[in-house]
Amino acid sequence: MDKRKETYSNYRWVVEFFIVMGTLGFAALWLAPAPLLPTIMGDLSINMAQAGLIISVLALCVALFSSLGSISVDKVGAKKSFLIALILVGAGGLMVLIANNYPVLILTRLVLGIGYAMILSIPGVLIMTWFPDNEKPYINTINSSLTYVGMTIAFSLTLPIYNAMGSWKAPLAIYGGSVLVVAALWLVIGKDKKVEIVQEVAAEKEEEVIKTEKVESALKLAMKRKEVWLMALALFGGMWEFQFFTTFLPTYYQTYYGLDATTASNITGIITSAGIVGGILCGVAMGMMGVRKIFTWPLHTLLLFGLIGAINFQPGPLLYLSVGLIGFCAAGWTPALMTIPMEFEGMTPRMLGGAFALIFGLGNAAAFISPVFGGWLSEIIGLKQTLFIFAFSQLLAIGCTILVPETGPKGKMKKLGLAGE
């Protein structure tokens, strides 16, 4: 067994800074095209299904290349792997300057998507390496909200940049160039942590456990667990509507309500602002209360009402509240999504890797298919009708999370107390 004598320097905050900047850059690039879709569609002469693919192709990359980050860390280390990921994300954004047709634009998004697939796993390695256990929950809480902060940037800054520079390519190129600057700084400042390792002979029992685990892959082990499938299907249902709504709500508000692009983008941006609040508040409350399920199906139920309201209320307080519910509830259940699988009975770290592969694989499959299929369906039955139908994918999330067992420490204690009576 290896025992590591570790010390934690203030450099860990430099590492966290780069994680923050890299994640913000990707998140901004992910949804930056959304408020610009009508302009992009006109400029490139594409339909709504093709426009949806501009956003959803990133989810396809995650589904296909999610293991690339961990493989790279094993081969070249965390520092170089994070650098590669940053370069891919930045290049994917900057390359839009040469995207004079639809295929080239999709190529730039593929490059960006591969970088994102790597970024999903590498920051976790950096955090586990540089931060002590008592700080990790707080760092993870901060980092879990970064996607929504980046989305807020996408919806609040993209159109002003477009209006100032007169090109839909400008915001994406600026975001991409910014990430490349971060990559250059990481090349100079970034480093791998050196840890003193004291070699010891592993116990026979531990060796036997390792041999047993290697008999079957982690993914196969996870696929045998009913509760893992429930979480995967819940995320599938949630990602199906969330990706479609965040992609096409700006277009919906421009087309059906006659709003200008900036106003439509600002309303949709409420999702991200509310998501930041929801993710932090629900994450802290979940930890303090020691229960999990209350942050799953009740939030999914509220989210369904938010989705319906977002496409039926006229601009005003009720519409803003509905859009805010989407962001608050979608982000609010994320801490439970990450925590519950870790607490399943009999779950091991190795099996957890397979569980998350299944859960996020299905979730990103939905995120890829939904905008493409929904864009095609919108051409046939209309965008409003498609949004309404897709909203009810939340029923899958509600039903599955109702069936998931309570895993929180206080919830388990209460269950044992009732059983004893």
**420 lies in a domain?**
no
pLDDT value at position 204?
39
State whether 275 and 347 are in the same domain: yes
pLDDT value at position 36?
86
Domain final residue pick, 143, 159, 192: 192
CA distance 394 to 241: 7
Give me the half-sphere count of Cα atoms (radius 13 Å) on the Cβ side of residue 141.
16
pLDDT value at position 389?
95
Work out the average pLDDT over 230-241: 94
pLDDT value at position 124?
64
Domain final residue pick, 192, 227, 243: 192
**219 lies in a domain?**
yes
**413 lies in a domain?**
no
Q: For residue 212, name the pLDDT band (cuts at 50, 70, 90).
A: very low
Q: Is the pTM of this model over 0.85?
A: no
pLDDT value at position 382?
92
- Answer with the residue of higher pLDDT: 171 or 63: 171
**Where is average pLDDT lowest: 8-12, 51-55, 96-100, 194-198?**
194-198
Is residue 300's pLDDT more than 90?
Answer: yes
Collapsing DSSP to helix, strand or coil, 199 comes out as: strand
Residue range 144-174, pLDDT digits in tens: 777 777 777 777 888 899 999 989 999 999 9
Q: Look up residue 219 and give its amino acid.
A: L
Is residue 199's pLDDT more than 50?
Answer: no
State whether 54 and 141 are in the same domain: yes
State whether 183 and 212 are in the same domain: no
State whether 270 and 363 are in the same domain: yes
pLDDT value at position 309?
95
State whether 72 and 38 are in the same domain: yes
State whether 158 and 182 are in the same domain: yes
Mean pLDDT over the full length of the chain: 81
CA distance 279 to 286: 10
Residue range 84-96, pLDDT digits in tens: 999 999 999 999 9
Residue range 304-355, pLDDT digits in tens: 999 999 999 999 999 999 999 999 999 888 888 877 887 788 776 556 666 7
State whether 295 and 186 are in the same domain: no
pLDDT value at position 20?
87
Work out the average pLDDT over 393-421: 76
State whether 183 and 225 are in the same domain: no
Residue range 410-420, pLDDT digits in tens: 766 655 555 44
Is residue 302's pLDDT more than 90?
Answer: yes
CA distance 235 to 242: 10
Percent of the chain with pLDDT over 90: 32
- Number of compact structural domains in the chain: 2
**145 lies in a domain?**
yes
| Residue numbers of the domain that contains 392 | 206-406
Please give the DSSP secondary-structure letter assigned to residue 192: P
- Answer with the residue of higher pLDDT: 126 or 383: 383
State whether 230 and 370 are in the same domain: yes
The distance from CA 303 to its chain's CA centroid, rounded to whole angstroms, is: 17
**270 lies in a domain?**
yes
pLDDT value at position 209?
44
State whether 291 and 380 are in the same domain: yes
Cα 282 to Cα 298, 328, 334: the distances in Å are: 12, 9, 9
pLDDT value at position 403?
94
**310 lies in a domain?**
yes
State whether 235 and 176 are in the same domain: no
Domain final residue pick, 161, 192, 223: 192
Question: 268-302 burial, b if ≥16 CB within 10 A, otherwise e?
Answer: bbbbbbbbbbbbbebbeebeeeebbbbbbbbbbbb
pLDDT value at position 421?
45
Instruction: Check which CATH number belongs to the domain holding 130 and give it.
Output: 1.20.1250.20
Within 8 A by CB and 6+ apart from 238, the residues are 300, 303, 330, 333, 363, 393, 394, 397
- Answer with the residue of higher pLDDT: 272 or 386: 386
Is residue 289's pLDDT more than 70?
Answer: yes
**418 lies in a domain?**
no
Q: DSSP alpha helices (H): ranges in 32-145?
A: 37-44, 48-65, 68-76, 78-94, 102-130, 136-144
State whether 165 and 214 are in the same domain: no
**416 lies in a domain?**
no
Is residue 406's pLDDT more than 50?
Answer: yes
Of 37-46, 56-65, 410-419, which has the strongest mean pLDDT? 37-46
- Answer with the residue of higher pLDDT: 184 or 209: 184
